[in-house]
A and B are shown apart, each in its own frame.
Chain A
């Protein structure tokens, strides 16, 4: 076996040093009833060639996003990732290191996470950010839990414009933690009215919302603060912050976001990367790891994991979260991609995304029976079709176009949403892609 360095002779010598006759002697504590004579019923070892062949066959049964005109978003976006990103994150010193518990051996990871935290704070317009969570949906659930800790109130009000899977994750967490979750109806294109009372811990909104619409949360933030509640703003397309007013500037108290768009592939939905930013005064209520600046014994600047007394390995059942492993390498990819872009590159990238979506929206909305739901959007918008969106998406896929997300997939009981299709464009969308989409959708609707 190519991954195992011990030779049969090594094993014999080592057993002799230990003072036992066979390896079975070292498993003597396993109860007799649980001992197995032979191997488990699975295939035997295979070489690289065989494993690569088998998995490549499975991969070939999928339609890769980049192989067709592609317009799917809904919380995960196909962007171009510069070649340098994947090269750098595959350096073994990053790829194969552990959580930086020994800071003297992990200054590379720690400094890059300090840069990550700074980038996330700047992007979101917030004061502090943590070193990442699993994904946007779990970050959102953690934000609700943090608002509950900060306000000591028991209810979270979730916008109908919040990604439906984020709503579901919040509800799953909340049913066990005892927070009451109030879910507003998902109604694209309609302004929501939030009922904020003296038991409301937080209001959670998404910007751009699930249907792509942009809304200024400033007035809502003021209402929340007046009532002693927190405003949580979710961002599922982080590239939008290259063009859009950041949540921090609107008065958000917590920002929970999905950072996949920078540096990370679609990966069929994971691993992605949860971003979490807050106000400095509440930093001790934050979940997850934090990297802080300090000095070494010679007075030189360096970095360590800090405020660990919030965390499970110190605080155990009183920890702010149970999270341990987060999305370290995804955070590194995020940081490298955003560092390559810089201020000028991000601004232009966001403009390219917006321009592509504007062109696409105008083209598709010109088709008979198709209407654009949104007044405003960034790189994703909702269309109403003259046919069920799921059927249209299936027909489009048959003709080699991945045309978007039928909203009914998330709300199967909502007949009024069955004709709503979410469509996204990014800098990878070409004019030719848009032409093909127009022609094929016209054909499907004919």
Chain B
């Protein structure tokens, strides 16, 4: 038996190992909220005394205190440094979240995005002062159009889901322009939750399509559902089972024959970038997550950027603003007029996520056509290598080769008493971020692993050895050990049910009234 279980035996029932006077544990230092460190009147920024002036605030001059705490700069730097040390990151280790493409974030891109000519540029400056910004946007658009094979790209969407919204709105606008409004969107059961949510926001009814035994769209089921009222199919390819939809050309043909559009969720574009062009697959609209395939950092939940490549049939409806080439060079079209007469309108303030555009272009130029193709190949190679290494220990949901991610389910945990969640939490103690859990919904207890191309073979081997070891341990009946995981993190398993039952969403200066009553 391992030292791990023995240690648990010595520290039963949740008592943390290595109790200290402070509650700190070596490099893991406890940190209270900034609101609990308030020195009233203190400030971490030295600002001059305002010159005398007569207030023009009218009757709206603020009278009450806001309640913000006062701290000095060293306290703030220490606070956020300590908080950062409670995070896992791609900089610290393998981050195999399926469908999230957690790859290395090159620091050159950070440096370039901070050049004053990009970062210190106002979106409403006169065009004569933003020529380089328009050139960068145009260059990025050229790369994205070439990689997708599609004639137009809408750059303003702020993230993948926003890109979906853009794509579905252009589809609805195109159908309206044809005088053929339709009501239904077909969405495979394996789709990201954003797909049905987006279609619903656009006013459509959602019709799910089942997967076949091979983890792909059931072509016969799809054809049976296609009809005069279907506006579009929303498909992810490679799909969230990590598989290429090998009947995609037949799917596209059937969708188009029914007068519908083919929307593709490009979250998994990393598997095919530089090797396969979505236009060659019959796709009419596809969003790209610059924060996935093109390595702009995820930042703990954003910001992202979700450009949408559009077929010629949808391009006239692209959102504002448009960047067009005219006689006097490039110019911005900001209103639904002239060439943009059929635009759906504006989706976001200003011109899109420029900071992400700079990073993504630096990434693409660094790789080049050759490097991007290698990205797709190494991403697929790494995923298949893990598939091969883990085949004996875990249960692969669909047999055969995968693309950039590999899907397992919880059959390998059958009768062990250990769940997918327990297994994931045990990986945390071993120093790995877990894979995506319980998604996609088409298999039971899903474990979706996406290593990306920026992991070395040694890193993959260490991960595979660990997963194999944990799978073996699960079969020894050490349920309590798994259920107690993680034990070595700043916090152990957190009670999410209690958080949702009585939501406490902000700090209060005193205990909330409802607690005082109890």
Of A67-75, A183-191, A192-200, the one touching chain B: A67-75
Docked-complex contact B352 and A269, CB < 8 angstroms: yes
A243 within 8 A of B: yes
A302 within 8 A of B: yes
Docked-complex contact A358 and B53, CB < 8 angstroms: yes
Q: Would you list which residues of chain B between 416 and 471 have a CB under 8 Å from chain A?
A: 424-425, 428, 433-434, 439, 453-457, 459
* One of B16, B280, B368 near A43 (C-beta < 8 A): B368
Given A42-B146, A267-B121, check contact A105 B87 (CB 8 Å): yes
Bound complex: CA A317 to CA B79 (Å): 39
* One of B55, B67, B486 near A354 (C-beta < 8 A): B55
**Secondary structure type dominating chain B contacts:** loop
Docked-complex contact A290 and B60, CB < 8 angstroms: no
Docked-complex contact A296 and B494, CB < 8 angstroms: yes
* One of A18, A64, A106, A374 near B117 (C-beta < 8 A): A64
A195-209 vs B: 1/0 string, CB under 8 Å? 000000000000100
Q: B490 → chain A, closest Cβ, in Å?
A: 5
Docked-complex contact B381 and A26, CB < 8 angstroms: yes
* One of A93, A176, A215, A268 near B118 (C-beta < 8 A): A268
> Which chain B positions have C-beta within 8 A of A207?
60
Given A270-B352, A300-B491, A312-B197, check contact A409 B124 (CB 8 Å): yes
Report the nearest A residue to B457, measured CB to CB: A10
A294 within 8 A of B: yes
B345-360 vs A: 1/0 string, CB under 8 Å? 1111111111110100
> Which chain A positions have C-beta within 8 A of B428?
102, 104-105
Docked-complex contact B76 and A336, CB < 8 angstroms: yes
B369-409 vs A: 1/0 string, CB under 8 Å? 11111110110111011011100000000000101000000
B339 within 8 A of A: no
> Which chain B positions have C-beta within 8 A of A341?
43-45, 68
* One of B121, B201, B272, B301 near A65 (C-beta < 8 A): B121
Docked-complex contact A19 and B69, CB < 8 angstroms: no
Q: A136 → chain B, closest Cβ, in Å?
A: 6
Q: Would you list which residues of chain A between 79 and 110 have a CB under 8 Å from chain B?
A: 82, 84, 86-109
A128 within 8 A of B: yes
B160 within 8 A of A: yes
B164 within 8 A of A: yes
B246 within 8 A of A: yes
Docked-complex contact B303 and A242, CB < 8 angstroms: no
Of B2-10, B33-41, B255-263, the one touching chain A: B33-41
> Which chain A positions have C-beta within 8 A of B277?
34, 36, 40
> Which chain A positions have C-beta within 8 A of B358?
55
* One of B133, B147, B384, B491 near A62 (C-beta < 8 A): B133
Q: B244 → chain A, closest Cβ, in Å?
A: 4
Report the nearest A residue to B40, measured CB to CB: A343
Q: B363 → chain A, closest Cβ, in Å?
A: 8
Report the nearest A residue to B157, measured CB to CB: A134
B472 within 8 A of A: no
- Among A82, A107, A117, A412, max chain B CB count under 10 A is at A107
Q: B169 → chain A, closest Cβ, in Å?
A: 6
- Among B125, B198, B361, max chain A CB count under 10 A is at B125
Docked-complex contact B355 and A267, CB < 8 angstroms: yes
Q: Would you list which residues of chain A between 122 and 176 have a CB under 8 Å from chain B?
A: 122-123, 127-129, 131-132, 134-138, 145, 163, 165-166, 168-169, 171-173, 175-176
Docked-complex contact B159 and A325, CB < 8 angstroms: yes
Docked-complex contact B505 and A283, CB < 8 angstroms: yes
Q: Would you list which residues of chain B between 257 and 276 have a CB under 8 Å from chain A?
A: 272, 274-276
* One of A30, A132, A243 near B244 (C-beta < 8 A): A30
Of A221-229, A345-353, A436-444, the one touching chain B: A345-353
Q: A326 → chain B, closest Cβ, in Å?
A: 5
Of B100-108, B222-230, B473-481, the one touching chain A: B100-108
Docked-complex contact A322 and B495, CB < 8 angstroms: no
> Which chain B positions have C-beta within 8 A of A48?
108, 366
Docked-complex contact A271 and B303, CB < 8 angstroms: yes
Docked-complex contact A93 and B116, CB < 8 angstroms: no
Given A63-B129, A95-B297, A272-B349, check contact A376 B58 (CB 8 Å): yes
Docked-complex contact B116 and A67, CB < 8 angstroms: yes
Bound complex: CA A244 to CA B143 (Å): 46
* One of B35, B125, B128, B362 near A118 (C-beta < 8 A): B35
B47 within 8 A of A: yes
Docked-complex contact B200 and A317, CB < 8 angstroms: yes
Bound complex: CA A358 to CA B50 (Å): 11
Q: A125 → chain B, closest Cβ, in Å?
A: 8
A297-340 vs B: 1/0 string, CB under 8 Å? 11010111011110111111111011111111110100010111
B161 within 8 A of A: yes
> Which chain A positions have C-beta within 8 A of B248?
31, 34
A21 within 8 A of B: no
> Which chain A positions have C-beta within 8 A of B123?
76, 266, 268-270
A375 within 8 A of B: yes
> Which chain A positions have C-beta within 8 A of B374?
1, 4
Bound complex: CA A426 to CA B350 (Å): 20
Docked-complex contact B122 and A78, CB < 8 angstroms: yes
Q: A329 → chain B, closest Cβ, in Å?
A: 3
B243 within 8 A of A: yes
B414 within 8 A of A: no
> Which chain A positions have C-beta within 8 A of B41?
343-344
Bound complex: CA A51 to CA B402 (Å): 33
Given A99-B298, A294-B496, check contact A26 B401 (CB 8 Å): yes
Given A122-B67, A322-B198, A340-B73, check contact A104 B486 (CB 8 Å): yes
Given A94-B84, A271-B158, check contact A115 B122 (CB 8 Å): no
Docked-complex contact A40 and B147, CB < 8 angstroms: yes
Report the nearest A residue to B334, measured CB to CB: A409
> Which chain B positions have C-beta within 8 A of A304?
494-496, 499
Report the nearest A residue to B49, measured CB to CB: A348
Docked-complex contact A134 and B158, CB < 8 angstroms: yes
B60-95 vs A: 1/0 string, CB under 8 Å? 111111111111010011011101111111111001
* One of A112, A169, A246 near B349 (C-beta < 8 A): A169
A358-372 vs B: 1/0 string, CB under 8 Å? 110100000000000
* One of B62, B492, B506 near A244 (C-beta < 8 A): B62
Docked-complex contact A96 and B298, CB < 8 angstroms: yes
Bound complex: CA A160 to CA B141 (Å): 34
A446 within 8 A of B: no
* One of B31, B135, B368, B500 near A44 (C-beta < 8 A): B368
> Which chain B positions have C-beta within 8 A of A273?
303
Docked-complex contact A118 and B349, CB < 8 angstroms: no
Docked-complex contact B161 and A324, CB < 8 angstroms: yes
- Among A34, A89, A104, A168, max chain B CB count under 10 A is at A104
Docked-complex contact A23 and B377, CB < 8 angstroms: yes
Docked-complex contact B355 and A55, CB < 8 angstroms: no
A258-279 vs B: 1/0 string, CB under 8 Å? 1000000111111111000000
* One of B54, B117, B197 near A316 (C-beta < 8 A): B197
* One of B66, B90, B385, B500 near A306 (C-beta < 8 A): B500
Docked-complex contact B496 and A108, CB < 8 angstroms: no
Q: A380 → chain B, closest Cβ, in Å?
A: 11
Question: What 3 pairs across the A-B complex have the smallest Cβ distances?
Answer: A269-B350, A59-B117, A329-B299
Can you spell out 26 A-B residue pairs with CB atoms less than 8 angstroms apart?
Answer: A26-B380, A56-B117, A62-B129, A65-B120, A96-B298, A104-B489, A104-B494, A122-B66, A163-B349, A243-B62, A269-B349, A270-B350, A292-B505, A304-B494, A312-B193, A326-B302, A329-B299, A339-B34, A341-B44, A341-B68, A344-B41, A348-B49, A355-B52, A358-B56, A375-B58, A402-B126
Given contacts A65-B120, A175-B345, 7 further A-B contacts (CB under 8 A): A42-B146, A82-B45, A104-B493, A107-B491, A269-B350, A325-B161, A354-B55
